[in-house]
A = this chain, B = another copy of it.
Amino acid sequence: MDGRAHAGGPGLRGRFRAQVRDEIKQVALRQLADGGPQALSLNAVAKVLGVSGPALYRYFANRDALLTDLVVDAYRDLAAACEAATAGAWKDPADRLRALAKAYRAWALEEPHRYRLLFRAPLYGYDAHSEPLVQASQIAMNVAVEVLEGIAAEGPVAGGELEAPLAEWAAGRGMPGAAAVIAVRATTLWARLHGLVSLEIEGNFASMGLDPTPLYEGEITNLLTTPPA
């Protein structure tokens, strides 16, 4: 309880700590890229970094903590990529939605191991969505919501059974203005994109010898012409 600065603070030591954490995650990502989550070994990471085994436990409580951190980072990265692709001014909001879908797919294809990480129950023993993970996943949803809001604010105001819980959810996220319709469309969009991307990166389309690009276009067009709600 003395006035000394601890490692969590912004002191020199804290900065070094953050830097090492990043280095560890970088190496871990490389190991994860070839071999999947199974192949991520703290020991191997330590060896690459030139330190010996248990040193890493000063930076991450355990292997799962490192994985969870990677998941959160991945959610942020995906959301950032989608935001970047949809930023700026757009004549046709429909084009903006298409750009969002394209960016989502592109990110997943570029780093399939990280995308896979997102949807694997992060800690099989724990609650599937512990707090930080829920928050991280919502970042991605926010982008979808924002893009869809620009498309059809004039859409049907919805009277479906989903309205109540979705309106509540929207309110809880600080966007009480967002109608339930938007939320329905956002989740539908997310589910469609995830379905296609997931099948694509697992090779299910490739094994059938077909390029799924038209399927993506079809789903987006469908969402634009006959939106749910």
Residues of A near any B CB (own CB < 8 A) = 35-39, 116, 119-121, 124-125, 127-129, 134, 137, 160-162, 165-166, 168-169, 184, 187-188, 190-196, 198-199, 202-212, 214-215, 218-219, 222, 225-226, 228
Give the interface SS of chain A, mostly helix, strand, loop or mixed: helix
Q: A124-B35, A184-B215, A228-B222 are in contact. Are A129 and B206 (CB under 8 A)?
A: yes
Determine whether the beta carbon of A165 is less than 8 Å from that of B211. yes
Q: Which of B39, B190, B226 contacts A225 (CB 8 A)?
A: B226
Measured between alpha carbons, how far is A225 from B226 in the docked complex, in Å? 10
In the complex this chain forms, how many copies of it are found?
2
Measured between alpha carbons, how far is A228 from B137 in the docked complex, in Å? 29
Determine whether the beta carbon of A215 is less than 8 Å from that of B194. no
Determine whether the beta carbon of A207 is less than 8 Å from that of B165. no
Q: Which of B128, B161, B210, B226 contacts A214 (CB 8 A)?
A: B161
